[in-house]
Structure 1
Amino acid sequence: MRLLHTMLRVNNLDESLKFYCDKLGMKLLRKHEFPGGEFTLAFVGYGAENETTVLELTWNWGTSKYEIGTAYGHIALGVDDIYKTCADLKNKGVNVVREPGPMKHGTTPIAFIEDPNGYRIELIQLK
């Protein structure tokens, strides 16, 4: 067994694709519309679905706002240089909600950004 994907419901698919692809550097792997169900699925990631875990963005037509809820935590991405990555993302208009720095009670530098839907994404400095 292996983890295939994580799904997020998004308010605006085009805006979300621009964020994940243009700003975070993921690739749109596949996209399929389901007119009968009035929804679209878009799969994005850093590698092929048969090799890596990807992100499924689900857009339900006619829905423009979701409550994130208190159970959702975050997505985590490993980065080589967290300070440069955050600076580059800020220049692209990404909201950095926790500046890079050591994790509380630890030494690993982390930061948090937010996607257009309000989902938190943790950036973790790779060793």
Structure 2
Amino acid sequence: MTIRMKQVAHVCIFARDVEETRRFYEDTLGMKTVFNFTREGRIFGFYLDAGNRTFIEVFENTSATYDGKNQINHICLEVEDLQEAVAHIRAAGTEPTEARKACDETWQAWIDDPNGVKIELFQYTDASAQFAGGDREADW
């Protein structure tokens, strides 16, 4: 059994100022916001379309330091079948989190690489906000 990897789904970055970061990616790089993450009615993150089903995920983190480390929070890999991927990872001796559906209607599970880099394994659904749009209230 192997994991049927599709592509990098997204890279997550931290932003001290969410709206300044949005303006940079939209105005300077020409990306479009697909949806926002909200908590109690306040936007604290968003998804940007980087083309070809690849995204940049941005979350507010006012305490993030930008000194050549800590900018990237995690790497997300899109897989064909998340349950199959989780089974493969367990068989290889690593214990991922349980697969769960997130507020953006995607299935996800998490592991760490040997260096502590967080890796999110991701399976889209027909209702995934990345394609359906619409702001999503964070449930974490």
Q: TM-score range by the shorter chain?
A: 0.3 to 0.5
Give the TM-score taking structure 1 as reference length: 0.43
Larger RCO, structure (CA 8 Å, separation 6 or more): 2
Give the TM-score taking structure 2 as reference length: 0.40
